[in-house]
Amino acid sequence: MTDFTQTDFKGTRALFRIPEGVIYLDGNSLGPLPAGVEQRVARTLAEEWGTRLIRGWNDAGWMTQPGRVGDRVARLIGAPPGSVVMGDTLSIKIHQALAAALALNPDRRVILSDTGNFPTDLYMAEGLIATLGQGHRLELVEPEAVEAAIDDHVAVLMLTEVDYRSGRKHDMAVLTARAHAAGALTVWDLAHSAGALPVDLAAAGADFAAGCTYKYLNGGPGAPAFIYVAPRHADAARPALSGWMGHAAPFAFDPSYRPGAGVERMRVGTPPVIALAALDAALDVWDGVDMADIRRQSIALCDLFITEVEARCPELALASPRDGARRGSQVSFRHPQGYAIMRALIDRGVIGDFRAPDILRFGITPLYIGADELRAAVAVLETVLAGRLWDRPDYHRKATVT
């Protein structure tokens, strides 16, 4: 397998700090540390906070960070400048997006999602429904049944584009068009899409989207989330969480809330300056990277991994779509002892993760993973399975984070 020439994947691999002897297949859960982040954070601490103190809000541009960094993320998700803002967590941004979408469609009461959606999105919907107390209800269908379930009762279609367990991918453009034809709005969760595959929110006509930046965007643990509001909704969307940073004039200290212009109204609290500096530096990796190249290489590497695992580890059952066009940048397999197997793999330098009840999940990121690493990972997996090396008491004890 050869790398595509427009994007220098050998060059991008050199931009990450991955420990010697580790094959890292968990960037779909937490991206590795990119070069330059440590220096940028150190500079923020020493030269900005340490030297400028409170003056950093003006002198170092801390107050405008959420929009500036948001524009860098926007380029990777097909959003126009000024339509993405950073801050808070993905759960909060889903809450804001869903609340705004419901307010824009006040005569309907159904939020439609699927059984494969990430649980926190469903929890946020349940909590919002209880808070509103207006008779809304959350309806869940199987992922394959979503399109047929969209009718004139649906207020909002809320979906995660790429399933966190299997990697199955929804067709954003098709489902958004179907929702709009039925008079519904859309909220897309891009947690496993942003940085993993080409996303074009504008072309798809998406109304709202949100995502995290600690996975494929490599922003670090707890890195801030983003929210996208389509420009046609930006000055009408109700922020729901009306924090002072989303006020039209935060430092006027008005006793009543007036929403800011456009997507800025979706800001809530004080920007996480140090975390945003880390993310900003991490996004430098994407300079010169073509998302079409990422997608082609991702599909090729995932196909290779599936072929190798099925040939050498037949006791594992493929849980991801076989067709590369129908999955994100991960491959999942099922095994009744999936947790113990993954623990054994991690002890031997192959880092993936486990998702209940029986999923071994492998994120395959072309920025720092190539064919050689995947073949080596499968060799370790084959050894673990053939020798039942996973069958140790400590491998069966569940850690807090799986």
Q: Is 118 a catalytic residue?
A: yes
362 — phi, psi (to 5°)? Answer: -125, 115
Distance CA 400, CA 402 (A): 6
Distance CA 71, CA 226 (A): 10
Q: Is 257 a catalytic residue?
A: no
Strand partners, 158: 187
Distance CA 172, CA 274 (A): 33
Distance CA 292, CA 159 (A): 23
Asked if 104 and 243 count as a contact pair (C-beta separation under 8 A), the reply is no
Which helix (H) or strand (E) segment holds residue 210: the answer is strand 208-211
Q: Is 215 a catalytic residue?
A: yes
* Catalytic residue, candidates 24, 361, 362, 368: 361
Strand partners, 351: 24
Strand partners, 334: 317, 359
Nearest to 327 by CA among 118, 205, 187, 171: 171
* Catalytic residue, candidates 189, 280, 293, 353: 189
Nearest to 278 by CA among 31, 112, 54, 63: 31
Q: Is 121 a catalytic residue?
A: no
* Catalytic residue, candidates 118, 216, 305, 333: 118
Max Cα distance, the chain (Å): 68
* Catalytic residue, candidates 40, 93, 215, 295: 215
DSSP 45: I
Q: Is 214 a catalytic residue?
A: yes
Residues with catalytic function:
118, 189, 214-215, 361
